[in-house]
A and B are shown apart, each in its own frame.
Chain A
Amino acid sequence: MQMQTLQFVKKAAPPWTAGTINTPAGSVFRLSSDWSRPDYWGMIKSRSGAFRMNYAVAPGLYAVGDPTKDSDVFVTANYKLTFDMLRRELKGMHAWILVLDTKSINVWCAAGKGTFGTDELVNRIAATKLETVVGHRRLILPQLGAVGVNAAEVQKRTGFRISFGPVQAKDIPAYVRAGYKKTIEMRTIRFSMLDRLVLTPMELNPAMKKFPWLAAGILLFFGLEPQGVLFKQAWFGGLPYLVLGLASVLGGAFVTPALLPFIPFRSFAIKGWLVGLLAVFAVHQLLHLPAQGDTMAMIVSYLFFPVMSSYIALQFTGSTTFTGMSGVRKELKIGIPVYIGASVISLLLLIALKIKEWGLL
């Protein structure tokens, strides 16, 4: 019998735990603060935007080291990557971690949606009987959780007083050492080149998924002859435009985010447009376009591709931390008519081009 239960516990315990400890509220998993190879692999996978859904931590209470009734309680989301960052930073400390059910979404986004919110925190405190595990009434929340959690209301309903800790888990040791005080660096989001680069796969992925449609459209256009779709025509005529398309995707989804502060203008749409314009110019130079002095095709490329890059760059506002709703709305209000207008005019010009080519006029 004994053996069986032991086996059962072993099976149920996630690989990042190291045994259990007993509390007045029952037994609690103790976390290993070391990162194993699967943890690193998981970070890479979740960064690349794949497998994000099935990467969760069961909500509830966890122990780090040998926490007592006086140890700090850190609250976090059940997004594995967020949880792993916290676990790593708490290495060598004795503390409790309260994991909220945010549907495996990070703190920032979950707070915006309200899943990292007042109700979930209040309910999770009750479900874990936290008041029996610790003697004090203090909680430390990640600062970005303040978007969803009303600290005063939590205190009214549970008695626990909330301190919003640093934005980033890596500042927690310094924050604790400083007597739970934050420097301005700890409480503001820095959006460094590295932060931005890490996010670009998330931009490139969806953009590249749509790329085959554009490619098919381009090839079809160039291949379309009165006698049917000619493969050779499609390939030789279309290739430069495939390169242009690829260059503008890269310009909008990679170059613009990476070089954000160095590109003039505050508007993302204008930044993306500028980069797209440069990309189109560079491709024209490299491939010696237009081949047969075809100015109409050149006008279309300068009209359409920078606008595409601009649109893609605007999508990066979803990953940035400093773009507010009113600002993005303003960009869209001006941007969308321009995008639609440029696309429609490009299409009309292309049709005119074909008509001329076929000698229909």
Chain B
Amino acid sequence: MGAPVKYLANVTTLTYAADKCAGCGRCVEVCPQGVFEMRDKRAAIIVRDLCMECGACARNCEFGAISVNAGVGCAAALINSMLTGGEPSCDCGGSGSSCCG
């Protein structure tokens, strides 16, 4: 399949502070959406709208250059959290949810 499928534009909470970047390349290594690339020994966001807010980059940037409000992009989980007021989480064990194939 050619280009990745894009989701809604301009909704991701991803932020990146280039001045804190130490150029370790970890974010490029962990991002499953190819959001980051190394440019001149620093990370650069190349396709922001592909970010799916998984949080891998922020968790693994030792230098605190990245932050993102990570969470599950799953309608069932979000509806549940709206109803119960709790944190959205995929109920992987249960049979009801289709999250996490």
B-binding residues in A (CB < 8 A):
47, 49, 52-53, 103, 105-106, 108-110, 112-113, 143-144, 146-152, 163-164, 167, 182, 184, 187-193, 198-199, 202-203, 205-206, 260-261, 266-268, 314-332, 336
Across chains A and B, which 3 residue pairs bring their CB atoms closest together, nearest first?
A: A109-B100, A318-B74, A324-B53
From A53, A112, A187, A325, B93 is in contact (CB under 8 Å) with A53
**In the complex where A147-B59, A327-B7 touch, is A106 in contact with B101 (Cβ < 8 A)?**
yes
Given contacts A146-B30, A328-B74, contact A202 B8 (CB under 8 A): no
Question: Would A318 and B97 count as touching, CB distance under 8 A?
Answer: yes
Residues of B within 8 A of A (CB): 1, 4-9, 11-13, 26, 28-34, 50-56, 59-60, 62, 69-79, 82, 88-90, 92-93, 95-101
Find B8's partner among A148, A261, A327 (CB 8 Å cutoff): A327
What is the bound-complex CA distance between A237 and B51, given in angstroms? 48
CB distance from B76 to the nearest CB of A (A): 5
A223 → chain B, closest Cβ, in Å? 30
- Report yes or no: B4 in contact with A188, Cβ–Cβ below 8 A: yes
Q: Which residues of A contact B60 (CB under 8 A)?
A: 146, 149-152
B4 touches A319 (CB 8 A): no
Q: Let me know if A324 and B11 touch, CB within 8 A.
A: yes
Question: How far does the alpha carbon of A321 sit from the alpha carbon of B54 in the complex, in Å?
Answer: 9
Q: Does A113 lie within 8 Å of B90, measured CB to CB?
A: yes
Which residue of chain A lies nearest to B37 when distances are taken between CB atoms in the complex? Answer: A184
- Nearest B residue to A151 via CB reads B60
B33 to chain A, nearest CB (A): 6
For B13, what are the chain A residues with a Cβ–Cβ distance below 8 Å?
326
Q: How far is the CB of A332 from chain B (nearest CB, A)?
A: 6
CA distance A47 to B100 in the complex (A): 11
B52 touches A323 (CB 8 A): yes
Could you tell me if B51 and A191 are in contact, using CB atoms closer than 8 angstroms? no
In the complex where A150-B60, A152-B62, A326-B53 touch, is A143 in contact with B29 (Cβ < 8 A)?
Answer: yes
**Chain A hits for B95, CB < 8 A:** 49, 52
Assess the A323–B70 pair: CB atoms within 8 A. no
Chain B contact residues: helix, strand, loop or mixed: loop
Q: Would B62 and A318 count as touching, CB distance under 8 A?
A: no
Determine whether the beta carbon of A320 is less than 8 Å from that of B32: no
Chain B nearest CB from A83 CB (Å) reads 16
Contacts of B90 in A (CB 8 A): 109, 112-113, 318
How far apart sit A108 and B100, CA to CA, in the bound complex (Å)? Answer: 7
Q: Please give, as numbers and ranges, the residues of chain B lying within 8 Å of A188 by CB-CB distance.
A: 4, 32-34
Measured in the bound complex, the distance between the Cα atoms of B31 and A268 in whole Å is: 23
**Once the chains are docked, how many angstroms separate the CA of A148 from the CA of B9?**
26
Query: In whole angstroms, how far apart are the Cα atoms of A330 and B62 in the complex?
Result: 31
In the complex, are the beta carbons of A109 and B99 less than 8 A apart? yes
List the A residue with the shortest CB-CB distance to B96.
A206
Complex: how many Å from CA A331 to CA B28? 29
CB contacts (< 8 Å) of A52 on chain B: these are 95
Residues of A near B69 (CB, < 8 A) are: 325-326
CB distance from B97 to the nearest CB of A (A): 7
A46–B8 Cα distance when bound, in Å, is 31
- Which A residues are in CB contact (< 8 Å) with B32? 143-144, 167, 187-189, 321
When distances are taken between beta carbons in the complex, the residues of chain A under 8 Å from B5 are 191, 260-261, 322
Bound together, the chains give a CA A205 to CA B94 distance in angstroms of 13
The answer to whether A330 touches B99 (Cβ under 8 A) is no
Name, among A146, A152, A314, the residue most crowded by chain B CB atoms within 10 Å (CB to CB).
Answer: A146
- Asked if A318 contacts B4 (CB within 8 A), the reply is no
Determine the chain B residues whose CB is within 8 A of the CB of A266 once the complex forms: 6-9
- One of A143, A146, A324 near B51 (C-beta < 8 A): A324
- Given known A152-B62, A206-B96, contact A325–B101 (CB-CB < 8 A): no
CB distance from A79 to the nearest CB of B (A): 10
